Amino acid sequence: MSKATTQVLSQNRSLEWARQAGIVVGASLFVVLCARITLPLPTPVPLTLQNFGVLAVALLLGSRRGFAALALYLAEGAAGLPVFTPAGPGGIAQLLGTTGGFLMAYPFVAFVAGWIYERTSRRFSRAVFSAFAAELVLFAGGLSWLYVLTHSLALTAKWGLYWFVFAEVIKIMLAAAVATQWTRRFTRPS
């Protein structure tokens, strides 16, 4: 292989790496924007569009890039950047607070949704199933952490489950619709 060919290949790899990094950073910023849309509830856990953002990122980017975007999101928050919902304390305090279990589960939620969806036919029903399975991971992490903090199943369910079930169904459906429409529109064979 000639020196010029090697340089071109190296340049192409660098450009692709930069493009992928930009996609991951953009996806983490999309989740930041979703975290800003919040509805206060009479619980220490607010209702936000964050989970929708996580699911949409996962379904659109797949398991690896989705995991990377949400790991970056947590790193941004842990570093003190104002990426979490404005109702919380921010930073490490937010990760250790009542929403910490949900937040810490986000990379795994993205991985599960992306992993399942990238192995399916990319239909709406498969996107719904992928997002639903990921939500099980989300609530397992979030409710487990709430239980550790409260030592009460009743309080855990009240703070982290009852208020959210209906909204999560809507977020799952919306993320699945976005993913399937995106797939139809931008990945059609020419």
φ/ψ region of 163 (left if φ > 0, alpha if ψ in -120 to 50, else beta) reads alpha
Q: Are 134 and 168 in contact (CB under 8 A)?
A: no
User: Is pLDDT above 60 for 148?
Assistant: yes
**Bridge-partner residues for 132, per DSSP?**
none
- Stretch 157-183: mean pLDDT: 95
pTM: 0.91
Look up tokens 């660098």; give the residue: 14
Residue 8: pLDDT band (50, 70, 90) is low
Tell me the domains of the chain and their CATH numbers: 27-186 (1.10.1760.20)
pLDDT digits (tens, 9 = 90+) for 32-87: 999 999 998 899 999 999 999 999 999 999 999 999 999 999 999 999 999 999 88
